[in-house]
Amino acid sequence: MDGKALIKRARAGDKDAFSQLYLQYKDSLYRYAYYKLRSAEDAKDAVSACITQAYMGIASIRDERAFSAWLFRILYRECCAIIRRKTGLEFVEIDENAHLLPDTSYIRTELSEALDSLSAEERDLVLLSAVAGYNSREIGAMLGKNPATVRTKLARALGKMRQFLE
């Protein structure tokens, strides 16, 4: 079944349709949250909160084509909320699940450092584009920005990463 039909069914209260939508998006949601938050546990929490909010609010979607942007906008806000909560903490949390984190090979470490060299806005643009796979029009809709502005800022951010990696 195609995505638009699933969204229509989910809007009508079909739990199975929403479950199928979740299965379609869960990996890209988690990847985005993981790279934004840098913590497996925080990423799981963000995705869980996002899915709960999406389930509760899916009836409000007017256009099925906007579902993906709407879903990632919820995740983006949840990630920002987690970051705000964590920046208020003054203790270092020991990650008991460090052995469960994705492989941290040399390339991933270099890319992670390159991402860290970007501003928060630039990092969001790169993650939404490269990790989540959205185009400038979709990212613009999520973040309330003009697609041309998104393309310009994304090109600059990628250029900064390229310089960092050279």
Boundaries of every domain in the chain: 1-101, 103-166
pLDDT tens readout for residues 94-105? 444 444 444 444
CA 8 to chain centre: 23
Domain 1-101 has CATH 1.10.1740.10: yes
- CA angle 105–24–130, rounded 5-degree value: 40
Would the CATH topology of 1-101 be identical to that of 103-166?
A: no
CATH fit for domain 103-166, picks 1.20.1290.10, 1.10.10.10, 3.30.1490.190, 2.140.10.30: 1.10.10.10
Q: Which residue has the higher pLDDT, 107 or 138?
A: 138
**3-class SS of residue 39:** coil
Q: Rounded CA gap, 104 and 1, in Å? A: 37
- pLDDT at residue 108, rounded to an integer: 60
pLDDT tens readout for residues 72-127? 889 988 998 898 888 764 434 444 444 444 444 444 677 778 888 889 889 888 88
**3-class SS of residue 81:** helix
- pLDDT at residue 94, rounded to an integer: 41
DSSP per-residue string spanning 87-131: HT--SPPP-TTGGGSPP--HHHHHHHHHHHTS-HHHHHHHIIIII
The residues, ordered by sequence, that sit 6+ positions from 113 with a Cβ below 8 Å of its Cβ are: 164
Q: Rounded CA gap, 5 and 87, in Å? A: 41
Give the residue from 14, 8, 17, 144 showing the smallest Cα distance to 72: 144
To the question of pTM greater than 0.85 for the whole model, the response is no
Other beta carbons within 10 angstroms of residue 125's beta carbon come to: 26
Q: In the predicted model, what is the mean pLDDT of residues 126-133?
A: 82
DSSP per-residue string spanning 64-76: GGGHHHHHHHHHH
Residue 11, pLDDT > 80, answer yes
- pLDDT at residue 150, rounded to an integer: 92
